A = this chain, B = another copy of it.
Amino acid sequence: MQSRTPHARAGRPRSAAADAAILAATRAALVELGWSKLTLQDVATRAGVAKTTLYRRWAGKNELVVDAVAELFDELRLPDRGSLAADIEGVVLQFAAILARPEARSGLMAVVAESTRDAALRERIRTSIVDRQKRLVLQGRERAQARGELPGEDDAAAAARTADLIFDVVAGAVVHRTLVSAEPADEEWVRRFTQLLLLGLGDAARAGFAGTAGQGGPDGTDARGRDG
């Protein structure tokens, strides 16, 4: 957009370093103070920047924190552990680890809370966080289809809807477990959740939600085919 003109706009250009420093300072302040006690003056001071600079780039606390938190989730990677079940467990554990960090806990929920009254913020969350991380679901499905664990998709629209659904179920379950129920999403819980997700309520119930058994357990969709 700004590079269309052959020569840069007049005036002193914005400091590129400042942006990174501010986002890092925001996360640091979130860790120490939490959302409600976080002040923009404090963020500015930590970043070695004037409050004005901060307001020049973000409209307020909400927008700033969305960007700061969004970066946290960019480190999520879908590991290739050989089976869909193991892949899911891997990425869910990563997600749980991020949500165990205070800056993610306070920040994410706070901006979601604010977004209930602010469509622009809602859009920003969707763009910066939700849509960006849906790649994990798509990637996981492709890999599972390549392995033959999941059937191919004919209807692209339906496939997209399904990816959305799975994303909400997975992300929602982990968030609710860790933040609302306020219990840890530890390995055992992740294993049982994955089994439920893959097998469904009835089969998972019959399989005993074999979470405590550390013996390797179900290895994916095939785990169910026990009586085939």
Contact = CB atoms under 8 A, between A and B. Distances in A.
Main secondary structure of the interface of A (DSSP, over half): helix
Contact of A35 (B113, B158, B222): B113
A123 B208 CA distance: 30
B176 A168 contact: yes
A171 B162 contact: no
Given A109-B112, A161-B211, A176-B168, A198 B201 contact: yes
B200 A196 contact: yes
A94 interface: no
A149 B221 contact: no
Nearest to A192: B165
B200 A125 contact: no
A117 B130 contact: no
21 contacts: A35-B116, A37-B117, A109-B109, A115-B179, A158-B209, A161-B192, A161-B211, A164-B181, A165-B193, A165-B209, A168-B180, A169-B169, A169-B196, A171-B172, A172-B175, A172-B176, A172-B177, A197-B200, A200-B203, A203-B224, A227-B228
Given A109-B116, A181-B130, A201-B198, A193 B176 contact: no
A36 interface: yes
A97 to B, nearest CB: 15
A201 B172 contact: no
Nearest to A169: B173
A166 interface: yes
A82 interface: no
A200 to B, nearest CB: 3
